[in-house]
Structure 1
Amino acid sequence: MPSFKIPESVLVVIYTPELDVLLMERADKPGFWQSVTGSKDTPDEPLITTAIREVAEETGINADADDVSLSDWQLSNVYEIYPVWRHRYAPGVTRNTEHVFGLCVPRGTSVHLAPREHLQYEWLPWRVAADRCFSASNAEAILQLPHLLQTLPTTEVPQL
Protein backbone atom coordinates (compact mmCIF):
# COMPACT_ATOMS: atom_id res chain seq x y z
CA MET A 1 0.00 0.00 0.00
CA PRO A 2 1.50 3.40 -0.98
CA SER A 3 2.32 5.96 1.67
CA PHE A 4 0.54 9.24 1.00
CA LYS A 5 1.45 12.72 2.20
CA ILE A 6 -0.64 14.17 4.99
CA PRO A 7 -2.50 17.27 3.74
CA GLU A 8 -1.31 19.38 6.66
CA SER A 9 1.96 21.23 6.31
CA VAL A 10 4.16 24.05 7.54
CA LEU A 11 5.57 27.08 5.78
CA VAL A 12 8.64 28.51 7.53
CA VAL A 13 9.78 31.99 6.49
CA ILE A 14 13.47 32.23 7.39
CA TYR A 15 14.71 35.79 7.75
CA THR A 16 17.45 37.92 9.30
CA PRO A 17 16.97 40.86 11.70
CA GLU A 18 17.60 43.08 8.66
CA LEU A 19 14.55 41.44 6.97
CA ASP A 20 16.46 39.55 4.31
CA VAL A 21 14.48 36.40 3.49
CA LEU A 22 15.85 33.01 2.43
CA LEU A 23 14.30 31.63 -0.74
CA MET A 24 15.15 28.33 -2.44
CA GLU A 25 14.56 27.15 -5.98
CA ARG A 26 12.69 23.83 -6.22
CA ALA A 27 14.61 20.98 -7.85
CA ASP A 28 11.43 19.41 -9.24
CA LYS A 29 10.21 22.74 -10.67
CA PRO A 30 13.11 25.00 -11.69
CA GLY A 31 12.09 28.63 -11.58
CA PHE A 32 9.74 28.04 -8.62
CA TRP A 33 11.13 29.83 -5.56
CA GLN A 34 9.84 29.31 -2.03
CA SER A 35 10.49 29.28 1.69
CA VAL A 36 10.82 26.03 3.64
CA THR A 37 7.70 23.88 3.34
CA GLY A 38 6.83 20.36 4.35
CA SER A 39 4.10 18.04 5.49
CA LYS A 40 3.65 16.35 8.84
CA ASP A 41 5.23 12.88 8.95
CA THR A 42 2.41 11.48 11.09
CA PRO A 43 -1.06 12.82 11.90
CA ASP A 44 -0.07 13.40 15.54
CA GLU A 45 3.29 15.09 14.86
CA PRO A 46 3.21 18.55 16.52
CA LEU A 47 3.45 21.37 13.99
CA ILE A 48 6.46 22.88 15.77
CA THR A 49 8.24 19.53 15.36
CA THR A 50 7.37 19.50 11.66
CA ALA A 51 8.76 23.03 11.29
CA ILE A 52 12.03 22.22 13.09
CA ARG A 53 12.48 19.00 11.08
CA GLU A 54 11.75 20.61 7.71
CA VAL A 55 14.11 23.53 8.36
CA ALA A 56 16.92 21.09 9.24
CA GLU A 57 16.21 18.80 6.26
CA GLU A 58 15.98 21.57 3.68
CA THR A 59 18.58 24.08 4.93
CA GLY A 60 20.77 22.40 7.55
CA ILE A 61 19.79 25.17 10.00
CA ASN A 62 19.11 24.05 13.59
CA ALA A 63 15.82 25.79 14.45
CA ASP A 64 16.34 24.79 18.11
CA ALA A 65 19.65 26.67 18.42
CA ASP A 66 20.06 29.44 21.00
CA ASP A 67 20.89 32.12 18.41
CA VAL A 68 17.68 31.71 16.38
CA SER A 69 14.05 32.49 17.12
CA LEU A 70 11.33 30.16 15.78
CA SER A 71 7.80 31.45 16.22
CA ASP A 72 4.34 30.23 15.32
CA TRP A 73 2.68 33.10 13.49
CA GLN A 74 -0.79 31.70 14.28
CA LEU A 75 -1.69 31.87 10.59
CA SER A 76 -2.99 29.08 8.44
CA ASN A 77 -3.99 28.84 4.80
CA VAL A 78 -6.14 26.27 3.10
CA TYR A 79 -5.34 25.95 -0.57
CA GLU A 80 -5.93 23.74 -3.57
CA ILE A 81 -3.02 21.35 -4.08
CA TYR A 82 -1.35 21.95 -7.45
CA PRO A 83 -2.45 19.17 -9.85
CA VAL A 84 1.20 18.29 -10.60
CA TRP A 85 1.64 17.24 -6.93
CA ARG A 86 -1.75 15.62 -6.19
CA HIS A 87 -0.43 12.12 -6.87
CA ARG A 88 1.48 12.39 -3.57
CA TYR A 89 -1.80 12.49 -1.62
CA ALA A 90 -4.54 9.91 -1.09
CA PRO A 91 -7.14 9.70 -3.87
CA GLY A 92 -9.69 12.50 -3.56
CA VAL A 93 -7.45 14.79 -1.47
CA THR A 94 -7.28 18.16 -3.22
CA ARG A 95 -6.75 20.66 -0.38
CA ASN A 96 -3.95 21.24 2.10
CA THR A 97 -3.85 23.23 5.34
CA GLU A 98 -0.58 25.13 5.73
CA HIS A 99 0.54 26.59 9.08
CA VAL A 100 2.94 29.55 8.98
CA PHE A 101 6.05 29.91 11.14
CA GLY A 102 8.90 32.40 11.13
CA LEU A 103 12.54 31.74 11.93
CA CYS A 104 14.85 34.67 12.62
CA VAL A 105 18.51 33.80 12.10
CA PRO A 106 21.67 35.89 12.30
CA ARG A 107 22.98 37.44 9.10
CA GLY A 108 25.54 35.07 7.58
CA THR A 109 23.84 31.88 8.76
CA SER A 110 25.15 28.94 6.71
CA VAL A 111 22.66 27.16 4.46
CA HIS A 112 23.19 23.59 3.24
CA LEU A 113 20.50 22.67 0.73
CA ALA A 114 19.03 19.21 0.30
CA PRO A 115 20.02 18.66 -3.37
CA ARG A 116 17.01 16.47 -4.13
CA GLU A 117 14.72 19.31 -3.02
CA HIS A 118 16.40 22.57 -4.02
CA LEU A 119 18.84 23.77 -6.68
CA GLN A 120 20.02 27.06 -5.18
CA TYR A 121 19.16 29.68 -2.61
CA GLU A 122 19.27 33.44 -2.22
CA TRP A 123 18.89 35.90 0.63
CA LEU A 124 16.68 38.70 -0.65
CA PRO A 125 15.12 41.85 0.81
CA TRP A 126 11.62 40.92 2.02
CA ARG A 127 9.69 42.76 -0.73
CA VAL A 128 11.86 41.24 -3.47
CA ALA A 129 11.48 37.80 -1.90
CA ALA A 130 7.68 38.13 -1.83
CA ASP A 131 7.68 39.02 -5.54
CA ARG A 132 9.84 36.00 -6.39
CA CYS A 133 7.63 33.38 -4.65
CA PHE A 134 5.49 31.20 -6.89
CA SER A 135 3.07 30.50 -4.02
CA ALA A 136 0.59 33.25 -3.16
CA SER A 137 0.41 32.14 0.49
CA ASN A 138 4.22 32.23 0.75
CA ALA A 139 4.35 35.72 -0.76
CA GLU A 140 1.60 36.93 1.58
CA ALA A 141 3.41 35.53 4.64
CA ILE A 142 6.58 37.40 3.65
CA LEU A 143 4.64 40.62 3.07
CA GLN A 144 3.26 40.35 6.61
CA LEU A 145 6.75 39.97 8.11
CA PRO A 146 7.29 43.61 9.23
CA HIS A 147 3.83 43.77 10.86
CA LEU A 148 4.17 40.39 12.55
CA LEU A 149 7.54 41.31 14.02
CA GLN A 150 5.88 44.17 15.89
CA THR A 151 3.44 41.74 17.53
CA LEU A 152 5.79 38.86 18.37
CA PRO A 153 7.22 39.35 21.88
CA THR A 154 10.29 37.11 21.42
CA THR A 155 11.58 38.77 18.28
CA GLU A 156 13.68 41.89 18.19
CA VAL A 157 12.08 44.33 15.77
CA PRO A 158 14.54 45.80 13.26
CA GLN A 159 14.26 49.41 12.09
CA LEU A 160 12.52 49.55 8.71
Structure 2
Amino acid sequence: MTPDRPYKIPLSVLVVIHTPALDVLLINRADTPGTWQSVTGSKDTEDETFEQTAIREVREETGIDTSIGKLTDWNIENVYTIYAHYLHRYAPGVARNREHVFGLCVPAGTPVTLNPREHTAYQWLPWREAADRCFSPSNAEAILMLPEFIQ
Protein backbone atom coordinates (compact mmCIF):
# COMPACT_ATOMS: atom_id res chain seq x y z
CA MET A 1 0.00 0.00 0.00
CA THR A 2 1.21 3.50 -0.84
CA PRO A 3 -0.19 6.92 0.11
CA ASP A 4 -1.43 7.60 -3.44
CA ARG A 5 -2.91 4.10 -3.84
CA PRO A 6 -3.79 2.74 -0.44
CA TYR A 7 -5.16 -0.58 -1.66
CA LYS A 8 -4.23 -3.08 -4.35
CA ILE A 9 -6.50 -3.25 -7.37
CA PRO A 10 -8.06 -6.75 -7.61
CA LEU A 11 -7.12 -7.02 -11.30
CA SER A 12 -3.88 -8.84 -11.99
CA VAL A 13 -1.80 -10.77 -14.49
CA LEU A 14 -0.16 -14.17 -14.53
CA VAL A 15 2.73 -14.45 -17.00
CA VAL A 16 4.07 -17.92 -17.82
CA ILE A 17 7.64 -17.29 -19.00
CA HIS A 18 9.01 -20.18 -21.06
CA THR A 19 11.56 -21.17 -23.67
CA PRO A 20 10.77 -22.69 -27.08
CA ALA A 21 11.63 -26.10 -25.51
CA LEU A 22 8.88 -25.45 -22.91
CA ASP A 23 11.17 -24.93 -19.93
CA VAL A 24 9.26 -22.66 -17.55
CA LEU A 25 10.68 -20.01 -15.23
CA LEU A 26 9.50 -20.28 -11.62
CA ILE A 27 10.37 -17.76 -8.91
CA ASN A 28 10.33 -18.25 -5.14
CA ARG A 29 8.35 -15.69 -3.13
CA ALA A 30 10.33 -13.77 -0.51
CA ASP A 31 7.31 -13.38 1.80
CA THR A 32 6.51 -17.12 1.81
CA PRO A 33 9.69 -19.14 1.17
CA GLY A 34 9.11 -22.39 -0.66
CA THR A 35 6.24 -20.86 -2.63
CA TRP A 36 7.10 -21.17 -6.32
CA GLN A 37 5.17 -19.36 -9.03
CA SER A 38 5.22 -17.62 -12.37
CA VAL A 39 5.29 -13.82 -12.57
CA THR A 40 2.14 -12.26 -11.10
CA GLY A 41 1.10 -8.75 -10.21
CA SER A 42 -1.74 -6.30 -9.94
CA LYS A 43 -2.52 -3.31 -12.08
CA ASP A 44 -0.99 -0.10 -10.74
CA THR A 45 -3.91 1.96 -12.01
CA GLU A 46 -7.39 1.15 -13.29
CA ASP A 47 -6.47 2.41 -16.78
CA GLU A 48 -3.26 0.37 -17.07
CA THR A 49 -3.97 -2.38 -19.61
CA PHE A 50 -3.37 -6.01 -18.73
CA GLU A 51 -0.60 -6.08 -21.36
CA GLN A 52 1.09 -3.04 -19.79
CA THR A 53 0.81 -4.72 -16.39
CA ALA A 54 2.37 -7.91 -17.75
CA ILE A 55 5.30 -6.03 -19.32
CA ARG A 56 5.90 -4.03 -16.13
CA GLU A 57 5.64 -7.00 -13.77
CA VAL A 58 7.99 -9.18 -15.85
CA ARG A 59 10.58 -6.38 -15.84
CA GLU A 60 10.15 -5.61 -12.12
CA GLU A 61 10.24 -9.22 -10.93
CA THR A 62 12.75 -10.82 -13.31
CA GLY A 63 14.63 -8.03 -15.07
CA ILE A 64 13.52 -9.52 -18.41
CA ASP A 65 12.60 -7.07 -21.17
CA THR A 66 9.60 -8.63 -22.92
CA SER A 67 10.80 -7.27 -26.28
CA ILE A 68 13.43 -10.06 -26.40
CA GLY A 69 10.66 -12.62 -26.74
CA LYS A 70 7.06 -12.99 -27.74
CA LEU A 71 4.38 -11.91 -25.27
CA THR A 72 1.07 -13.63 -26.04
CA ASP A 73 -2.32 -12.84 -24.53
CA TRP A 74 -3.90 -16.23 -23.89
CA ASN A 75 -7.36 -14.62 -23.51
CA ILE A 76 -7.92 -16.55 -20.29
CA GLU A 77 -9.10 -15.05 -17.04
CA ASN A 78 -9.20 -16.70 -13.66
CA VAL A 79 -11.32 -15.40 -10.81
CA TYR A 80 -10.23 -16.60 -7.41
CA THR A 81 -10.65 -15.89 -3.74
CA ILE A 82 -7.75 -13.86 -2.35
CA TYR A 83 -5.75 -15.75 0.26
CA ALA A 84 -6.69 -14.56 3.77
CA HIS A 85 -3.14 -13.47 4.61
CA TYR A 86 -3.22 -11.02 1.65
CA LEU A 87 -6.69 -9.51 2.23
CA HIS A 88 -5.26 -6.56 4.18
CA ARG A 89 -3.72 -5.30 0.93
CA TYR A 90 -7.17 -4.80 -0.62
CA ALA A 91 -10.05 -2.45 0.18
CA PRO A 92 -12.48 -3.67 2.85
CA GLY A 93 -14.98 -6.08 1.35
CA VAL A 94 -12.75 -7.12 -1.57
CA ALA A 95 -12.29 -10.87 -1.46
CA ARG A 96 -11.88 -11.91 -5.10
CA ASN A 97 -9.34 -11.12 -7.80
CA ARG A 98 -9.55 -11.32 -11.59
CA GLU A 99 -6.32 -12.57 -13.15
CA HIS A 100 -5.51 -12.30 -16.89
CA VAL A 101 -3.08 -14.89 -18.31
CA PHE A 102 -0.18 -14.30 -20.71
CA GLY A 103 2.67 -16.38 -22.04
CA LEU A 104 6.15 -15.03 -22.77
CA CYS A 105 8.46 -17.12 -24.93
CA VAL A 106 12.11 -16.14 -24.44
CA PRO A 107 15.36 -17.61 -25.74
CA ALA A 108 16.95 -20.40 -23.68
CA GLY A 109 19.59 -18.91 -21.40
CA THR A 110 17.74 -15.63 -20.91
CA PRO A 111 19.32 -14.02 -17.83
CA VAL A 112 17.10 -13.43 -14.80
CA THR A 113 17.68 -10.67 -12.25
CA LEU A 114 15.26 -11.01 -9.34
CA ASN A 115 13.89 -8.17 -7.27
CA PRO A 116 15.10 -9.37 -3.82
CA ARG A 117 12.15 -7.71 -2.03
CA GLU A 118 9.80 -10.00 -3.96
CA HIS A 119 11.70 -13.19 -4.84
CA THR A 120 14.71 -15.08 -3.49
CA ALA A 121 15.46 -17.71 -6.14
CA TYR A 122 14.51 -18.89 -9.59
CA GLN A 123 14.65 -22.08 -11.59
CA TRP A 124 13.89 -23.23 -15.12
CA LEU A 125 11.97 -26.51 -15.18
CA PRO A 126 10.34 -28.63 -17.87
CA TRP A 127 6.71 -27.54 -18.08
CA ARG A 128 5.14 -30.55 -16.34
CA GLU A 129 7.61 -30.34 -13.44
CA ALA A 130 7.00 -26.60 -13.21
CA ALA A 131 3.24 -27.17 -12.96
CA ASP A 132 3.80 -29.69 -10.17
CA ARG A 133 6.01 -27.23 -8.27
CA CYS A 134 3.54 -24.29 -8.32
CA PHE A 135 1.62 -23.51 -5.15
CA SER A 136 -1.24 -21.86 -7.05
CA PRO A 137 -3.78 -24.10 -8.79
CA SER A 138 -4.50 -21.47 -11.48
CA ASN A 139 -0.76 -21.09 -12.14
CA ALA A 140 -0.29 -24.86 -12.43
CA GLU A 141 -3.29 -25.10 -14.76
CA ALA A 142 -1.91 -22.32 -16.99
CA ILE A 143 1.45 -24.08 -17.25
CA LEU A 144 -0.26 -27.34 -18.18
CA MET A 145 -2.00 -25.48 -21.04
CA LEU A 146 1.31 -24.13 -22.37
CA PRO A 147 1.65 -26.61 -25.28
CA GLU A 148 -1.72 -25.43 -26.62
CA PHE A 149 -0.35 -21.89 -27.05
CA ILE A 150 2.89 -22.71 -28.86
CA GLN A 151 2.71 -21.69 -32.50
TM-score in terms of structure 2 length: 0.96
- 1:7 corresponding residue in structure 2: 10
- 2:114 corresponding residue in structure 1: 113
- 1:152 corresponding residue in structure 2: none
- 1:47 corresponding residue in structure 2: 50
- Equivalent positions of 1:93-112 (< 5 A) are 93-112=94-113
- 2:41 corresponding residue in structure 1: 38
- Per the alignment, in what secondary structure is the counterpart of residue 115 of structure 1? coil
How far off its partner does 1:148 sit?
2.0
Distance 1:20 1:71 in 2: 16
Number of aligned positions between the proteins: 148
Q: What RMSD, in angstroms, separates the aligned Cα atoms of the two structures?
A: 0.9
| Runs of 4+ off more than 2 Å | none
What runs of 5+ residues in structure 2 fail to find an aligned partner? Answer: none
CA deviation vs aligned residue, 1:103-124 (integer Å, no higher than 9, x gap): 0000000000000000100000
- Equivalent positions of 1:1-160 (< 5 A) are 3-63=6-66, 65=67, 67-149=68-150, 155=151
Name the aligned partner's letter for residue 138 of structure 2.
Answer: S
Name the aligned partner's letter for residue 92 of structure 2.
Answer: P
Distance 1:147 1:105 in 2: 17
Distance 1:40 1:33 in 2: 21
What runs of 5+ residues in structure 1 fail to find an aligned partner? Answer: 150-154, 156-160
What percent identity do the matched residue pairs reach? 68
Distance 1:84 1:128 in 2: 27
Distance 2:145 2:92 in 1: 34
CA deviation vs aligned residue, 1:115-148 (integer Å, no higher than 9, x gap): 0000100000000000000000000000000012
